[in-house]
Structure 1
Amino acid sequence: MKSLKTTLLLSTLIISASTMAMDKTAAGAVAGAAIGAVAGKDVKSTVGGAVVGAGTGAMFKNGDKGKAARKGGAVGAVVGAGAAAVTGNSVLKGAAVGAGSGALIGEATH
């Protein structure tokens, strides 16, 4: 597992140089997936990290797409936190994943 973490960390550093040319949403997804993989050690955390990272990247965009992503992220955070509270899961994790998902939906529907 230690070698897997080292490999992911090195891969992230190598990819981070190429993410400068990527769209903010894609760059956030790559960074979030790498962080989720290292922190959580499973596929679920990798996917969750990618969603949160992509949503964060979308929210940092300028113009109408960024504004739509920020609005979607706010709504998604509330919905995600509420759903997590009802199901007995972590409210913070639900809010983070909800915000990421909402931001991506807000950006895509704009």
Structure 2
Amino acid sequence: MKRKAIGIIVLSALLCGQALAIDKTATGALLGATAGAVAGKNVKSAVGGAVVGAGTGAMFKHGDKGKAARKGGAVGAVVGAGAAAVTGKSVLKGAALGAGAGGVIGEATH
């Protein structure tokens, strides 16, 4: 049952991803959430995947918004890695989540 549901989620994400191809941030969030849900099989993984995917999508944008997202992603990665190291969590996961969040914030504040 879970495999069938995961297959349906992946298929719908790919179809919706084509429809949302106009906005790279939304497409990245959708595909990241799908990948997180498939890999981790829980809501926390889906949310983390959505954050990383949205930040990645924002960083791939051209122009000033993309530049602001890349700067925010760099700062977010450092902050996320540091916070993960202090709390004893995975530094790599902290950097990835920090970069994603920083990219989205950088794009939004521009």
TM-score by length of 1: 0.93
Percent identity over the alignment? 72
Residue of structure 1 equivalent to 2:14: 13
Q: Render the CA deviation track for 1:48-94: whole Å, top value 9, x for unaligned.
A: 10000000000001111110000000000000001011111111110
**What is the count of residue pairs matched by the alignment?**
109
> Which one is further off, 73-82 or 10-19?
10-19
Match runs of 1:30-109 below 5 Å = 30-109=30-109
- Shift of residue 7 of structure 1? 1.6
3-state SS of 2:81 partner? helix
Q: Partner amino acid for 2:18?
A: A
Give the Cα–Cα distance (whole angstroms) in 2 for the partners of residues 70 and 31 of structure 1. 19
3-state SS of 1:61 partner? coil
Q: Partner amino acid for 1:3?
A: K
Give the Cα–Cα distance (whole angstroms) in 2 for the partners of residues 64 and 16 of structure 1. 24
Uncovered stretches (5+) of structure 2, i.e. residues with no partner: none
- Shift of residue 6 of structure 1? 1.6
- Shift of residue 4 of structure 1? 2.0
Match runs of 1:23-34 below 5 Å = 23-34=23-34
Uncovered stretches (5+) of structure 1, i.e. residues with no partner: none
Give the Cα–Cα distance (whole angstroms) in 1 for the partners of residues 108 and 102 of structure 2. 10
Give the Cα–Cα distance (whole angstroms) in 2 for the partners of residues 101 and 32 of structure 1. 13
TM-score by length of 2: 0.93
> Once superposed, what is the RMSD of the aligned Cα atoms?
1.0
Kindly report structure 1 stretches of 4+ aligned residues shifted beyond 3 Å.
none
Q: Is the 8 A contact 2:14 2:31 kept in 1?
A: no
